[in-house]
Amino acid sequence: MTKLNIIVANGLNNFLEWSEYLDDYDVKIHVVKNEMDIVNGIRDADIVWFEFANEAAIRGTRIIEDNTKAGVKKPDVYVRLHGYEAFHPNLLPNIKWNTVNRLIYVSPANLIIMQDYHAELLKSLEPQMVQISNGVNLDKHPFKERKHGMNIGLIGYLNNKKNSQEAIHIIKELCDGFWSDHHSNDIDKLELQEHRDYKLHIAGTFQDRVLESYFKHAIKEYGLEKNVIMHGWLKGHEMEELWDSLNYVLCTSITESFGYNIAEGMARGIKPVIHNFIGAEKIWDSKYIYDNAAARIECNGDRYHSKEYREYIEDNYDLKMQVDTIKGMLNAT
């Protein structure tokens, strides 16, 4: 059986579910904590797969190049680019691309970034490049019919790239009745009070203390103590319970190569509200991308279509499609 070794940096092995379904391959995952993990991942492999085009891929492709010069048979080599690597000035240029059979990118948004920062390299690598979109295991994300409601989910790490602070301003707009300025001065006070029932559920952890401090300040300053619920990092049944309660899944990011939180929410029938990040329209239908998030959330019930959101993931980002595409690529090499 063909030996396929996946080499991935410690802490970045969260996107490998597809590898469990490569039945025709002997798959081993080598999580890199030191250089010997890279050496062991290359040794005796028929195929070496570098998950992320990062430091592990730089060191690994150099080892493969040296081995080849010493007369060792070169394995087939694949590098998968997720997103952040394209922004870095010293990652992509230092990979030994002469050893690589295919550069896999997960999203057209990756090409926009590469064109901005690595235009010459992009041009030279085009013959080796193939897009394989991420996939969602639909069996793990059961569908439920939903409707407009007051529970909004912000899920994942909280950092500047995720533009997480915007979520605070969105929930403030909703709670204040952002639309009131465009209506009669005779605003129904009861209806306005109902907007104070909006809840922003945050399931994630801060990666930036400055951002964490701002959240604490803004929540207090705007009187949102009852409207912003910090759940921390949820797993298992706790995360299932949160998913089950949500009416909207919010993405405020300024850059994404995909957005698993978006896809997993849509698979469950939850309406997505997606910031217009770089390349968003190449991944998601424009109807899901917001200019004004509060307006997108505060809508009539007939603009909420759970089955449509599920079908979008079934048609575009089913894990089975990702697995079949990877198998086809590997078999064709």
Distance, in Å, from the CA atom of 76 to the CA atom of 73, rounded to the nearest integer, reads: 10
pLDDT computed for residue 52 by the predictor: 98
Candidates 231, 228, 227, 225; CA nearest to 205 is 231
Return the biggest CA–CA distance within the chain. Answer: 83
Q: Are 156 and 202 in contact (CB under 8 A)?
A: no
Q: Which helix (H) or strand (E) holds 32?
A: strand 25-32
In sequence order, what are the residues at sequence separation of 6 or more whose Cβ sits closer than 8 angstroms to the Cβ of residue 314?
Answer: 138, 267
Distance, in Å, from the CA atom of 5 to the CA atom of 30, rounded to the nearest integer, reads: 7
pLDDT computed for residue 178 by the predictor: 60
Helix-strand-coil percent breakdown of the chain, rounded to 5? 45, 20, 35
The CB-side HSE value for 119 (13 A sphere, CA atoms) comes to: 2
Token output for 33: 């904590």
Backbone angles phi, psi at 108, to 5 degrees: -60, -25
Please state whether beta strands 228-230 and 25-32 pair in parallel, antiparallel, or not at all (unpaired).
unpaired
Single-letter amino acid code for the residue at 330: L
Token output for 237: 């049944």
Please state whether beta strands 129-131 and 102-105 pair in parallel, antiparallel, or not at all (unpaired).
parallel
pLDDT computed for residue 300 by the predictor: 54
**Residues 116, 250, 105, 318: what is their CA dihedral angle, to the nearest 10 degrees?**
-160
Backbone angles phi, psi at 278, to 5 degrees: -60, 115
SS3 assignment, position 283: coil
pLDDT computed for residue 179 by the predictor: 52
Candidates 114, 109, 42; CA nearest to 77 is 42
Per-residue model confidence as pLDDT tens digits over 157-185: 999 999 999 999 999 999 987 655 544 44
**Residues 244, 249, 255, 259: what is their CA dihedral angle, to the nearest 10 degrees?**
30
Segments in the chain below pLDDT 70: 178-195, 299-302
Distance, in Å, from the CA atom of 308 to the CA atom of 305, rounded to the nearest integer, reads: 5
Token output for 147: 């409707």
Distance, in Å, from the CA atom of 73 to the CA atom of 70, rounded to the nearest integer, reads: 9
Question: Which own/partner contact pairs does 19-28 have at CB distance under 8 Å and 24+ positions apart?
Answer: 21/319, 21/323, 22/323, 22/326, 22/327, 22/330, 24/327, 25/1, 25/330, 26/1, 26/2, 28/3, 28/4
Domains and CATH numbers, the chain: 2-135+318-332 (3.40.50), 138-316 (3.40.50.2000)
